[in-house]
Structure 1
């Protein structure tokens, strides 16, 4: 049985769980990764170019198999063999482990792009569904095209279009031209977020209240606004 002292003196290999979870996704086999891990173990202990015969012995494999695994890792661009010259002019070989981390970074970026794309697709699907729910019917092809133009050509976010739809519903204007006027007004006034929309709504409500104050004491909770005409 290994003693505690022997256990502590043997050192540890520290490796991110990202590598463990994704080495197959960047094209490495289990056998290649185990060999790479042995190289990395020596690297962390300060030996950047370990004797492959030692690794072959640890893995109980033939040296020919080890050389084949090394060649596969180089071909798959997850490791590089570099020759460096020290201050005394002596050349030394070493294994460069940066390529695998570059590949993992690219993989993470691709996965993040997929997540963002999926979220955007879900938001667009929700946008179309909400329009049909509010209008109480299936939208016409022209109306689908109009929403597509807001998204693709005008670059309005799904969230902003939903806010414009809500504004139209509050004013009981189930009209695409009316919604378009809202979006154009917001674009003109650089209104792009829910917080900015809420602030604009409060501003218009105060403006409407000031206009109506001399005429009546009881003010409506929601002041309707005609986006097609604008403020007087």
Structure 2
């Protein structure tokens, strides 16, 4: 057992990114190409910068020509390339370079994020349409749908802000996109871009409104009662 553990440790380890194992098919790599890649990495980690096809074939139990074909396919598919490196002694040597594979994986991640963002935006748009139709109690016309799309795409109003404007319109019993548009424009002039900012502005204005209402009530109470005389009385 001790001898086995010694050989096990001396054989070393090859580290492979789980992200590659999860997505190798999505970047155009076949299962056979992945096996070749793993064998290449294994030998390169041991110091062989350009492992021989014969050695790879022997490790996999394949024909040498099959390995040559797979290596050619991986280079043609831009999964790897052969570059020159300079060793510690100043000598140049060829090696397999997998930066192209890493770049493909990074682009895949960007595409995934973009797809998720697009799906989320589509979902938000549908939610806004559905909520307005529900509150208005009728389907939206094509012109109304275009107006709402302009709020989202051109004016860049957040869905939460449009939903808040809808709430304000419903409270005022004004079931109209024009009324909502006036609300949104008033918020835009005040540079209020989120529902939280609108709420804070309301809280800031509330004391002023309460004070104004109180002053109006007080002024009304100070008006003296004027007796009404009948001009016909003698």
Secondary structure of 1:137 counterpart? coil
Higher mean alpha-carbon deviation, 146-155 vs 53-62, is at: 146-155
TM-score, normalised on structure 2?
Answer: 0.85
Quote the residue 1:27 is aligned against. Answer: 28
- Tell me by how many angstroms 1:86 deviates: 4.9
Task: State how many pairs are aligned.
Answer: 217
TM-superposed CA distance for 1:59, in Å, is 0.6
CA contact (8 A) 2:158 2:194 kept: no
**TM-score computed with the length of structure 1 as normaliser:** 0.86
List aligned pairs for 1:91-170, cutoff 5 A.
91-170=92-171
Bigger helix fraction: 2
Q: 2:54 and 2:145 mapped to 1: Cα distance?
A: 67
Deviation at 1:139, TM superposition (A): 1.7
Matching residue of 2:16? 15
Equivalent position of 1:71 in the other structure: 72
Q: For 1:23-62, what aligned pairs fall within 5 Å after superposition?
A: 23-62=24-63
Structure 2: distance between partners of 1:43 and 1:199:
61
Deviations 1:72-125 (A, max 9, x none): 000000111012345765320011111111000001110111111001000000
Q: What SS is found at the alignment partner of 1:118?
A: helix
CA distance in 1, matches of 2:130, 2:110: 30
Task: Give the Cα separation in 2 of the matches to 1:192 and 1:212.
Answer: 29
Post-superposition Cα deviations, 1:145-190, rounded to whole Å, max 9, x if no partner, equal 2112212222222222112112222333222122111111121121
SS in 2 for 1:25: helix
The structure with the larger Rg is 2
Task: Give the RMSD, CA atoms, in angstroms.
Answer: 2.0
- Is the alpha carbon distance of 1:66 and 1:126 closer, same or farther for their aligned partners in structure 2, counting shifts above 3 Å? same
